[in-house]
């Protein structure tokens, strides 16, 4: 028997990605929502692609903050 693909709204997709981030588990979020983990992985990838900003588009303050945070992460990894 052929399965019919379900359509999800953009709002639902964003909420699913947000839930996975809050729970720190895509599998748990997918189970709670009754959807495939592959859906959330795809939606997260698309969401991240639309959120990317190049460093050249950042203000001086934003670049400074980014560098500070990168240094902080580096120190925490040690």
pLDDT digits (tens, 9 = 90+) for 14-66: 999 999 999 999 999 999 999 999 999 999 999 887 776 666 777 888 889 98
Residue 1 falls inside a structural domain: no
Residue 5 falls inside a structural domain: no
The pLDDT assigned to 60 comes to 86
The pLDDT assigned to 53 comes to 67
Residue 55 falls inside a structural domain: yes
State whether residue 55 is helix, strand or coil.
helix
Checking phi first, is residue 56 left (phi over 0); if not, alpha (psi -120 to 50) or beta?
alpha
And the tokens for 27?
């599998």
And the tokens for 32?
């709670």
Residue 2 falls inside a structural domain: no
Residue numbers of the domain that contains 70: 10-77
Please tell me which residue, 50 or 12, carries the higher pLDDT value: 12
Q: Domain tally for the chain?
A: 1
Residue 67 falls inside a structural domain: yes
Residue 27 falls inside a structural domain: yes
Q: Assess whether pLDDT exceeds 80 at residue 68.
A: yes
Residue 65 falls inside a structural domain: yes
Residue 42: C-alpha distances to residues 3, 17, 37, 52 (Å) = 19, 10, 9, 16
Residue 51 falls inside a structural domain: yes
């Amino acid at each position: 028997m052929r399965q019919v693909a379900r359509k999800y709204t953009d709002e639902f997709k964003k909420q699913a990605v947000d839930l996975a981030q809050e729970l720190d588990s895509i599998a748990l979020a997918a189970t709670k929502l009754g959807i495939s983990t592959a859906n959330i992985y795809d939606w997260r990838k698309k969401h991240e692609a639309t959120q990317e900003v190049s460093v050249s588009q950042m203000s001086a303050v934003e670049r400074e903050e980014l560098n500070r945070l990168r240094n902080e992460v580096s120190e925490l990894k040690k």
